[in-house]
């Protein structure tokens, strides 16, 4: 049965894991944002067979479950000859989640870039902008703002995938909730706390992102800057 006493007792125990949960969320998210660019850069080199290989690696990562990748990195990677090395649970989960989400984020970037009108590239060329200035001054400033809401959504989705790391022993709020349950035989309260913490953090973020989305849409209202993402 539900007991407020247990709830109050469990709360400080469970919340100790919030640093790890949030820490893993943000480090893997930053990795995903950076690696997203790397995928696009690798795929746009003029080497045809190379691009093709990169495309399929990315497709492979995107189409396999993150938990398989977490297990692979933690258990199997150390056994790979020559390049294999062992990671701490936190690092293994960070890399696996970061790389997994980078494959989606690359798509978001791509859709942002493709939403920039062809005429913008032509005008940049006619004005003789360098490649670098065309990207930095003209294309990316138009391509990125409309992607912010999508990027925010992926942050929330990633946050909710972080408990997967519990399976290899990363001690976040979920692990602590379970530990509390195992010690006291009261599971309802600690796991409710875990769920509430996720709700408490992701719901306001979702609202914030919706606000941001409205703002971005208002600023970039005209036809050619709407971003569509197909998964």
Partner 1 sequence: MEPIVQYKDVHKSFGDVHVLKGINLDIRPTEKIAIIGPSGSGKTTIIRLLMTLEEPTEGDIIVDGQNLWKMESGKGMKKASEKHLGIVRNDIGMVFQHFNLFPHKTILDNCVVPLVNVRKMKKSEAVELSKQMLDRVGLGDKYESYPTQLSGGQKQRVAMARALVMKPKIMLFDEVTSALDPELVGEVLEVIRDLADNEDMAMVLVTHEMDFALEVADRVLFLDEGVIAESGTAEEVINESDNPRLQDFLRRFRGE
Site for partner 1, rule CB under 8 A: 117, 119-120, 122-123, 125-131, 133, 137-138, 141-142, 220-222, 225
Burial (CB < 10 A; 0-12, 13-18, 19+), residue 115, is middle
| Sequence-ordered list of residues with C-beta below 8 angstroms from that of 131, at least 6 positions apart, any chain | none
Q: At its nearest, how many Å lie between partner 1 and the CB of residue 115? A: 12
Structure tokens at 74: 């933690």
Q: Could you tell me the smallest distance in angstroms from the CB atom of residue 220 to partner 1?
A: 8
Query: Is the CB of residue 24 less than 8 Å from the CB of residue 93?
Result: yes
Closer by beta carbon to partner 1, 40 or else 138 = 138
Give the residue with the Cβ less far from partner 1, 48 or 223: 223
CB-wise, 98 or 149, nearer to partner 1? 149
- Spell out the residues 6+ positions from residue 177 whose beta carbon is closer than 8 angstroms to its own: 10, 14, 17, 190, 191, 193, 194
Distance from first CA to last CA of the chain, Å, rounded? 43
Task: Tell me if 154 sits within 8 A of 105, measured CB to CB.
Answer: yes
Alpha carbon distances (Å) from 18 to 11, 52, 95, 211, 227: 11, 41, 19, 26, 34
80 contacts: CB under 8 Å, gap ≥ 6? none
Nearer to partner 1, 59 or 117 (CB): 117
Give Dmax (Cα) for the chain: 73
Q: Measured from the CB atom, is 23 or 145 closer to partner 1?
A: 145
CB of 48 or CB of 131, closer to partner 1: 131
Nearest approach in angstroms of CB 146 to partner 1 is 11
Look up residue 105 and give its two tokens: 């984020």
Q: How far is the CB of 67 from partner 1 (least distance, A)?
A: 41
Least Å from the CB of residue 54 to partner 1: 24
Write down the least CB distance from residue 222 to partner 1, Å: 6
How near is the Cβ of 111 to partner 1 at its closest, in Å? 18
Q: How far is Cα 156 from Cα 51, in angstroms, rounded to an integer?
A: 30
């Amino acid at each position: 049965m539900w007991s407020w006493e247990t709830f109050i007792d469990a709360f400080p125990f469970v919340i100790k894991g919030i640093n790890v949960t949030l820490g893993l969320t943000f480090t893997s998210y930053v990795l995903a944002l950076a690696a997203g660019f790397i995928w696009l850069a690798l795929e746009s080199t003029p080497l045809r067979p190379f691009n093709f290989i990169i495309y399929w690696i990315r497709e492979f990562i995107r189409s396999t479950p993150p938990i398989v990748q977490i297990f692979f990195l933690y258990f199997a990677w150390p056994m790979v000859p020559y390049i294999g090395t062992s990671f701490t649970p936190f690092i293994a989960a960070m890399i696996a989640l970061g790389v997994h989400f980078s494959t989606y984020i690359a798509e978001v970037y791509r859709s942002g870039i493709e939403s920039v009108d062809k005429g913008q590239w032509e005008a940049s060329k006619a004005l003789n902008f360098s490649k670098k200035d065309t990207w930095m001054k003209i294309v990316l400033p138009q391509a990125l703002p409309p992607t912010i809401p999508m990027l925010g959504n992926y942050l929330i989705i990633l946050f909710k995938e972080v408990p997967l790391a519990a399976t290899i022993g990363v001690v976040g709020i979920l692990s602590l909730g379970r530990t509390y349950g195992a010690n006291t035989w009261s599971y309802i309260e600690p796991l409710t706390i875990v769920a509430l913490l996720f709700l408490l953090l992701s719901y306001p973020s979702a609202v914030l992102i919706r606000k941001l989305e409205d703002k971005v849409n208002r600023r970039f209202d005209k036809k050619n800057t709407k971003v569509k993402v197909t998964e």
